[in-house]
Amino acid sequence: MISQNQAVRSGLGLGDQLRLETPSGPLVRPVVGILEFYYVEKGTVFMDRELYKKYWGDNAVDLMLLNLEPGIDRSAFKTEINRVMAGEQRAFIYTSDEYKEWSSRLTDQFFTLTYLEMLIAIFVAAMGLINMLVISVSERQRELGILRAIGGLRGQVRKIVLLEAASIALLGFATGVIAGLFNAYFLVRTAARIIAGFNLRFQFPISVVLATLPVVLLVALGAAWWTAQRALRQQVVEAIGYE
């Protein structure tokens, strides 16, 4: 059996003949299965251990996966293995949950820079929104002054600025989600296959999108609040006479 990225890189399918050059000569065997398994970039070949020792003359063990019977305590089993191997072998022993936690921690460390870039992007977006709203309010200063002169309330002027900011934020959010969707799909379905020869399952992060929406609105409204207060501090007479 071979891994999926091995099949992609070698162009082999079920029933095809896989040829391996070994220290004892060529080994040719049919492909009887393709697994969704990623261990190394070049791919992985699964074979009987006795066959491997026969052709490669190597009986070393690099990785061992154990499936426990139902009801066996994993932590106790791990402790017992450590006790038996103490002073004889050096090994890293993980339960499946510990290994997943370790892998997730490595992934989070890898994306730390990405998270920092996201925070910087949010700050830049907030500054850009403030700048755009200041310019927009300044250009409509006379209009806002006339609105207040004919009886418009301060709350109504503030509401206009806040709604404008929310509209811009929602439009930018929708555009960003669509662009991110296409970029993520390309990375997962195309780039991963080209670079690693491996197909990753694409899953739309709906929970992340929904959790990000209130943050975007909060940042936009916070940026707009200062602009709205700045517009309200100006006297009506000055606003009407502004050109």
Distances 176 to 68, 133, 136, 173, 220 between C-alpha atoms, Å: 46, 20, 23, 5, 15
- pLDDT for the residue 65: 78
Condensed to tens digits (0 to 9), the pLDDT of residues 148-175 reads: 677 767 777 778 888 888 888 888 889 9
**165, 133 contact by CB (below 8 A):** yes
pLDDT digits (tens, 9 = 90+) for 191-243: 666 666 666 677 788 888 888 888 888 888 887 887 777 766 666 555 555 55
Amino acid of residue 129: L
Q: What pTM, to 2 d.p., does this model score?
A: 0.56
Q: Considering Cα of 81, then 83, then 89, then 91, what sign does the dihedral take?
A: positive
Spatial distance between the Cα atoms of 20 and 25, rounded to a whole number of angstroms: 9
- Averaging pLDDT over each range in 87-101, 129-143, 175-189, which range is the top one? 175-189
Whole-number Å distance between alpha carbons of 9 and 16 = 14
Domain ranges, ordered by start, for the chain:
2-101, 111-240
